[in-house]
Amino acid sequence: MFNLQVLHPETGTVQPYRLDPEQEKTFLIGRHPSCQIILDRPEVSRIHGQLSWHGDRVYYSDLGSTDGSKVNNQDILINYQHVLRTGDTVQIGEFVILMGAIQVPKKGVSSKPTKLRCIQVIDQTPDVKTFRWVGSEGERFEYLPGQFVLLDLMIEGKAVSRCYSVSSSPSRPYVLEFTVKRVGLVSNWLHASVGEGFELSIQGITGSFVYEGPKQKVLLLSAGSGITPMLSMARWISDMAHPVDVVFLHSARSPQDIIARSELVFLARQNLRVWFTVTNPGEHWSGLTGRVDRAMLNSVPDLLDRTVYVCGPEGFMTGVKQMLMDLGLPSGQYHEESFGGAPVAVEAPKVGTTIEFAKSNKTIQPKPGETLLEAGLRSGVTMTYGCKIGACGVCKLKLKAGNVDYVRSPLALPEGSGFVLPCVACARDAVVVEG
């Protein structure tokens, strides 16, 4: 739900609107009677623009009007989605549209699982596969480029949940892809077990690491399987024909380990500049070699004017961020996929600190730095969990007594909810939870 007011400075009239995206996802603005917001003035085109709800954000697009539109008093591009926030203005002729409160659901997991059916498995590299899915009932998938999906799986008789970044683009809404490197229990199981026709459930698509336009200049930086959210962003920018200056720098172990290499080479012939660097080049590699370093970053045109998105191993992100800050990149232009953010230190548990799982009738003394989830699993408490980084909300339990400290930001937990996320919470004193 979002509210807005349409102001006409000449007459001083104000028309309030309350729009419900549960009923419609797009709201046309113009002189034509079919528009949800009718602005009856000659300078307004018949169909001038539209407000749209995508993922959990509101956007304005000028649909090729004669006299154009402005957002926050700045001329905007035609047929380009401009994200709007509370207090923003859209100017159409003499009319000013003022965005009011935007009631957005918390980033988290849908309470209703969605069943997917696999339609294709693509071998990207010797240890990476892309799994392509459709909804079992033909659902449209609504998300933002860069977000991740939470899978519900049954492996060897045990329920397991895991998060994987979505690599497909929201511009292709009936197909969902995630790209998985074979490294652990779940990824090995997916590689070995999933084929065409396989079905599984997801709890939702979420995450705060997202591309939001319009950005004039962008740098996408990734290493290894950290390329997956960048693929979503690059495909989105290309599909939407956004007039964005993009440099995409990806680091891989070898040329054979570059995920989606052929597609990225194709995109490089269109509207992206794609650079690869490898640490084990072999005999026939003529591109960049070595890890991403200061010299590579400094060679990016207009580096300090770019919005930078980074994803990869923790050490890669830490090093890249330090180099970018040293080169003078404003911190507000830096974004990284760390889900719940970097861990923070918490004090060792005080004497008498305990964790009581009420339903399981177990009381545990936690080890230093041990989360509620780790302590519970160590002691045999049956617990449901997903991402382990505070981003999905699957492990949420009612906090009945006591206080906790968080080692990562609990992104999936509304403030004042009375719940706790065991995967990122450590007991500060005697804690009682519902599990």
pLDDT, position 343: 52
Q: How far apart are the first and last CA of the chain?
A: 34
- Give 166's DSSP letter: B
Given 3-state DSSP classes, what are the helix, strand and coil percentages for the chain, each rounded to the nearest 5?
Answer: 15, 35, 50
Nearest-angstrom CA–CA distance, 384 and 41: 57
Q: Kindly state the tokens that stand for 289.
A: 């070699």
Nearest-angstrom CA–CA distance, 432 and 418: 12
Query: One digit per residue, pLDDT tens: the chain, 435 residues?
Result: 678 889 886 777 888 888 777 677 789 999 999 999 999 999 999 999 999 887 667 889 999 999 999 998 888 888 888 888 888 899 999 899 988 866 544 443 344 578 999 999 999 999 999 999 999 888 888 888 999 888 878 888 877 778 899 999 988 888 999 999 998 889 999 999 999 999 998 877 887 788 877 678 999 999 999 999 999 999 998 887 777 899 999 999 999 999 999 999 998 988 799 999 999 998 789 999 999 999 999 999 999 999 999 999 889 999 999 999 999 999 999 999 864 445 555 566 666 799 999 999 999 999 988 999 999 999 999 888 777 778 777 788 999 999 999 888 787 777 677 899 999 999 999 999 987
Per residue in 344-380, is it b (16+ CB within 10 Å) or e — as a string? eebeebeeebbbbbeebeeebebeeebbbbbbbeeee
pLDDT, position 191: 97
pLDDT, position 107: 40
pLDDT, position 301: 96
pLDDT, position 223: 96
- Residue 97: CB partners within 8 Å, gap ≥ 6? 4, 5, 6, 7, 29, 37, 89, 90, 91
Displacement of CA 368 from its chain's centroid (Å): 32
Among 77, 40, 32, 35, smallest CA distance to 59 is for 77
Phi, psi of 93 (to 5 degrees): 60, -130
pLDDT, position 176: 95
Distances (CA, A) of 86 to 2, 58, 74: 9, 10, 17
- Helix and strand numbers, DSSP H then E, in the chain: 6, 30
- Residue 232: CB partners within 8 Å, gap ≥ 6? 145, 146, 147, 165, 166, 167, 168, 169, 170, 211
The strand pairing partners of 50, in sequence order, are 28, 61
Q: Kindly state the tokens that stand for 304.
A: 């300090």
Are β-strands 26-30 and 13-19 bridged in parallel, bridged antiparallel, or unpaired? Answer: unpaired
